[in-house]
């Protein structure tokens, strides 16, 4: 089974930035430490547009992410984050190859 990467391209109005970051802070460790298959995530702000954001997450498998997304607690946990978002697009990828430094 291959790892998966999920990207959320989102827009957060400037006046909601602090609320958005607080909401992310409130849920990040609950997901990282409590959701099976979750490996890592990042929240990124576009350098040229302070309202454009990217949340990227890596999962042990796409099935793990989809199970989390369908779980009863997902919508409730993510609700404060979603309340700050005016636009969202989700893209899912299966990792085919991965490169790290060679060990000698």
How many other β-carbons are positioned within 10 Å of the β-carbon of residue 83? 11
Angstrom CA distances, 40 to 4, 23, 55, 101, stand at 11, 17, 11, 19
The predicted-structure confidence for 35-48, as pLDDT tens digits, reads as follows 999 999 999 999 99
Sequence-separated (6 or more) residues with CB below 8 Å from residue 84 = 12, 13, 16, 19, 20, 23
Q: Structure pTM?
A: 0.89
Q: What is the model's pLDDT at position 103?
A: 85
Inform me whether the pLDDT recorded for 3 exceeds 90. yes
Q: Is 91 exposed, middle or buried (0-12, 13-18, 19+ CB in 10 A)?
A: exposed
The predicted-structure confidence for 36-95, as pLDDT tens digits, reads as follows 999 999 999 999 999 999 999 999 999 999 999 999 889 899 999 999 999 999 999 999
């Amino acid at each position: 089974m291959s790892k998966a990467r999920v990207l959320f391209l989102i827009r957060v109005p400037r006046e909601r930035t602090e609320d958005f970051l607080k909401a992310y802070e409130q849920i990040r460790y609950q997901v990282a430490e409590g959701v099976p298959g979750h490996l890592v995530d990042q929240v990124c702000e576009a350098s040229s547009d302070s309202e454009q954001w990217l949340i990227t997450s890596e999962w042990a498998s796409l099935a793990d992410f989809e199970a989390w997304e369908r779980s009863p607690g997902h919508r409730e946990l993510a609700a404060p984050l979603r309340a700050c978002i005016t636009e969202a697009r989700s893209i899912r990828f299966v990792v085919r190859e991965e490169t790290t430094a060679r060990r000698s």
